[in-house]
Amino acid sequence: MAEQKEKPRKVGAMGMVPYEMALGPTWTKFFEGFKEKKILGTKCNKCGRVLVPARPFCPRCFEPMEEWVEVAQEGTIVTWSYVNYTYFGVTPDMIPVIGATIKLDGVDCGTGMWTQISGFDIKDFELVTKKVKVGARVKAVWRRKRQGNFRDIDYWKIIE
Amino acid sequence: MGRAVAVIGTGQTKHGRRDDLSYPDLVREAVKKVFEDAGITPKDVDGVVYGSMPSMMEGMAYNHFYFADALRVVGKPLLRTETCGSTGQSVAHTAIHWVASGMADVVLAVTSEKEHEGDAQATMMTILEPFLQVVIGGAPLAFSLQSREWMGYYHIDDDKAREAASIVSVDSHDGGLKNPLAHIRVKLTKEDVSKAPIITYPVRLYDVCPVSDGACAVIFASEEKAKKICKKPAWVKGIGFRGEEYFIGDSNKAVWQSTIEASKEAYKEAGITNPLKELDVAEVYNPFSYQELMFLECLGFCPPGEAPDYVIKGTFSPGGELPCDPSGGVLCTNPIGAAGLIRVAEAALQVTGKAGEHQVEGAKLALSHAMGGAEQFNGITILGSEL
Amino acid sequence: MQKVGIVEVAQSAGTESSLSLMEFTYKPVKEVLDKVGMRRDEVDMYILASTDVFHSGMSCANAFDWDASGAFMKPASREEGDAITAFVYGCMPIMEGRYDTVLVVGLIKGSENPENDTLTSFVADPFYSRPVGIQETTAAAMQMRLYLQRYGITEEQCAKVVVKNLGNALFNPYAHIKKRVSVDDVLNSERICDPLKALECAPKSEGVCAMLLASEEKAKKLTDKPVWFKGWGSSMDTFYLGDRDLLNTQLKTAAASAYKMAGVSDPRKEIDVVETCEPYAFQELLWCEQLGLCAQGQGGKLIDSGVTQITGALPVNPSGGVLAMNPYVARGLYRVAEAALQIKGKAGEHQVDKKVNTALAHSTYGFCGQWQGVVILGS
């Protein structure tokens, strides 16, 4: 082993790799729904569950989910969290955000990591803990101009 | 299932910030130690299983190629197993199946991370597909969501959960103080933990694992080989692994079925009916203190919804009925891909009486566990001193 | 050790699909289950194979693949690295006697990823290799030059591999690139990395291959022609190209282990069909030598002899091989599937004429074949 006469050095490297991912027919239709301010789910013929986002098949029954359902845009908060830190790609002006899982009325699963609560001064942490509760009712707020992507739902607001 | 398999040696690096070493040398440190511990040489090994987190975190794709020399695998078969955070457990399982199948007598399992060379959170956000789940929050968001779902489901009030989570953090950090290889070795009080800066509420700074560099190596051997070359083998008594759906909203994450079913399979194989009584120590995967409360329930250590009560009365603390994470756990040391295998190594150290200052007296049966994905995967390996 | 049988296989085509990776993966998995008449939850274990960089850049690829692979709440795991390892891992729990059925899935959508070379440049270490542009193709080109020089293999002989394999692919409905080309077409194609020419390099394909493995008893119930796992061998070389003799690869060691386990003493005589992984045409010749199908340095003479043609005495890559279809990561499982189909007599238009009792599936990845794996299947 070499004698350490100087401190071990580090080499910086950055790589950027482009990908182009197919949405496929199921999610293309799902996002087309967003353009029309619709949230679309699919229903499994075997277990009867309605899942959002729409799926090509039911992960449990493993049958194609071909029945499309327009689901409610209101629901109940299953869980939420207040994000207050940064990491690569996230700058201080981008936080805080309130992530939440929402059980939309009539849907058999919670929304996953794609729904965020806002509509009031979320920088006020005390206010956040007062308003945002498990069990609170929320409603989707759409952007005026929609493009058929995740940004179309601006946020979910608490319905008092 | 097939022939019996045992752990005949373990090796861990000094975990922490290892700017003093190149990544291959970090792997080499653990591999060197495991051969010393097992008292065998690389030529006695029939195959190697390697695992780490994804390429983006490693800064390289397929880094097992880069580590060929460090792993002492040149001229031998290598399998690479990866299941996100539960990689360490899955790597152990691959090694166990390999030996149990009869196709190898001695298998070296190695896992490693050099997280200070990359960005862990940024990597983990790419687990989410970029169509819909474009969010800010990283792993802490996912696990905080889960923790509050659990609190809401069982109507556990914030203060009680906060107190229990703080105890978990204090206990783990005390364990780290007794483990010379742990990354974080600080004394914390419940107050320190409860009042720390918010990361993803309710999770605060000391409720969260550190960013660690570290590697872990474990050697598995068949019954015949283990009895021949190892004074104190740690026998594999049971294993289990399950994964849920990709979208986290699809399953109830308070009643965490992948943990429950994976542990059921492991307990069945090990002949354990009352884990709280029969296990002597548990190395539970705890990157987030709140999440450990859920694991205690879903691993069957206490009734659902009651983990805070059991924690508050000291059941899982040092000296309690089932001490958890005497090594300091993931809260003190988290080279992510390695953390699951470190739990196996620590369980082996416990049941062979080699855990030094953090030894749980008389431990004979130990559970090790790891979780992966965004609340998606759980793997368990139970080790015992008796075949 | 329990015997392991391949019951059924399903493959996707290699041409670009507009389906999402999730939809694309689901189809062959569902097809295998339907073919054997099993429900998803009736299979004991699932082994997936995918790699994050070759997986639309999604980390912890197992998270996304899990649903489409059918693994929900079943014992399961994922091999990251060539899918032939998932096949081998899938055999283990059955050999142990732990489980009766294992479903193995290798998946990728090449169309979603950048060029293979962009991704393999990340296999190169950032200190010595990446800065000088080492990736899989540049490394292979160096290996090819050495091969031509040391043994006097000609560029024409290497080109013949392309002619054979792309021609065979015309009879493989799943193959990605399939056409009649001449040796001149190959020699005149662009020298993208001299001496490698464009037509000598594998494409970037889609590919999901699903396979059901079962214990002897179960396999015999589920199919009247199970294909038996007879042996495997695998070996790794060291990392830096300069530390290696690029022509004396670990394939020799891997093959020796596989032959030993399968009880094969004279591969040239006893193997009926070979499916080998040849992302660079010359490698098929080199691998044939390393597999012991011909003497060292005689790979060129082997292809000249016609023995490895689809109608020959020892057909190599009747499916078209990786030159015709390169779903990186899944390609190793495709080799096993194709070998199995040959034994079953179910390879359709690219079924070889002779009776196939023993088949060899080989896969490799890493620069100049740093990782080598060989599987032997038997009737």
What's the CA gap between B217 and B168, in Å, rounded?
A: 27
Relative to beta strand A74-83, strand A97-104 is antiparallel
What's the CA gap between A102 and B248, in Å, rounded?
A: 11
* Model pTM score: 0.97
Give Cβ neighbours of residue A93 (< 8 Å, ≥ 6 apart): none
Q: Which single residue is written with the structure tokens 């080309």?
A: C181
**A11 within some domain:** no
Asked if A62's CB is within 8 angstroms of C111's CB, the reply is no
Q: What is the DSSP string of A16-75?
A: --------HHHHHHHHHHHHTT-EEEEE-TTT--EESS--SB-TTT--B--EEEEEPSEE
Range of the domain at A112: 24-158
Helix (H), strand (E) at residue C26: helix C21-36
**A129 within some domain:** yes
What's the CA gap between B11 and B108, in Å, rounded?
A: 11
Residues of C in contact with B76 (CB under 8 A): 235-236
**A8 within some domain:** no
Closest approach of chain C CAs to the CA of B67, in angstroms? Answer: 8
Nearest neighbour of B200 by CB, restricted to A51, A82, A90: A82
- Tell me the percentage of chain B whose pLDDT exceeds 90: 95
What's the CA gap between B241 and B266, in Å, rounded?
A: 9
- Axis-axis angle for helices C61-69, C21-36 (nearest 10): 40
Summarised one tens digit per residue, pLDDT across range C23-49 is 999 999 999 999 999 999 999 999 999
What's the CA gap between B104 and B85, in Å, rounded?
A: 26
Summarised one tens digit per residue, pLDDT across range B73-123 is 999 999 999 999 999 999 999 999 999 999 999 999 999 999 999 888 889
pLDDT of the residue at C268: 97
What's phi and psi for C65, nearest 5 deg?
A: -75, -20
Contact B48, B76 (CB under 8 A): yes
Distance (Å) of CA C51 to CA B85, B150, C58: 15, 33, 9
User: ipTM for the complex?
Assistant: 0.97
Total number of domains in chain A: 1
**DSSP 3-state assignment of C333?**
helix
Closest C-alpha to B66, from B30, B23, B111: B23
Give Cβ neighbours of residue C276 (< 8 Å, ≥ 6 apart): C284, C287, C288, C291, C316, C317, C321, C335, C360, C362
Contact B283, B340 (CB under 8 A): no
Summarised one tens digit per residue, pLDDT across range A133-143 is 999 999 999 99
Helix (H), strand (E) at residue C161: helix C155-168
Residues of A in contact with C17 (CB under 8 A): 22
pLDDT in tens, chain B (387 residues): 679 999 999 999 999 999 999 999 999 999 999 999 999 999 999 999 999 999 999 999 999 999 999 999 999 999 999 999 999 999 999 999 999 999 999 999 999 999 999 888 889 889 999 999 988 888 899 999 999 999 999 999 999 999 999 999 999 999 999 999 999 999 999 999 999 999 999 999 999 999 999 999 999 999 999 999 999 999 999 999 999 999 999 999 999 999 999 999 999 999 999 999 999 999 999 999 999 999 999 999 999 999 999 999 999 999 999 999 999 999 999 999 999 999 999 999 999 999 999 999 999 999 999 999 999 999 999 999 999
Residue C23 at interface with chain B, using a CB cutoff of 8 Å: no
Q: Which chains touch B (3 or more CB pairs under 8 A)?
A: A, C
Summarised one tens digit per residue, pLDDT across range A39-50 is 999 999 999 999
**A17 within some domain:** no
Burial class, C296, CB count within 10 angstroms (exposed 0-12 / middle 13-18 / buried 19+): middle
**A16 within some domain:** no
Residue C250 at interface with chain B, using a CB cutoff of 8 Å: yes
Length of chain A: 160
Mean pLDDT of A63-91: 94
Residues of A in contact with C26 (CB under 8 A): 56-57
Query: In terms of CA atoms, which chain B residue is nearest residue A88?
Result: B122
**DSSP 3-state assignment of A153?**
strand
**A28 within some domain:** yes
**A75 within some domain:** yes
**A93 within some domain:** yes
Domain positions in chain B = 5-120+212-234, 135-211+236-384
**Fold of the domain built from segment(s) B135-211+236-384:** Peroxisomal Thiolase; Chain A, domain 1 (3.40.47)
**Fold of the domain built from segment(s) B5-120+212-234:** Peroxisomal Thiolase; Chain A, domain 1 (3.40.47)
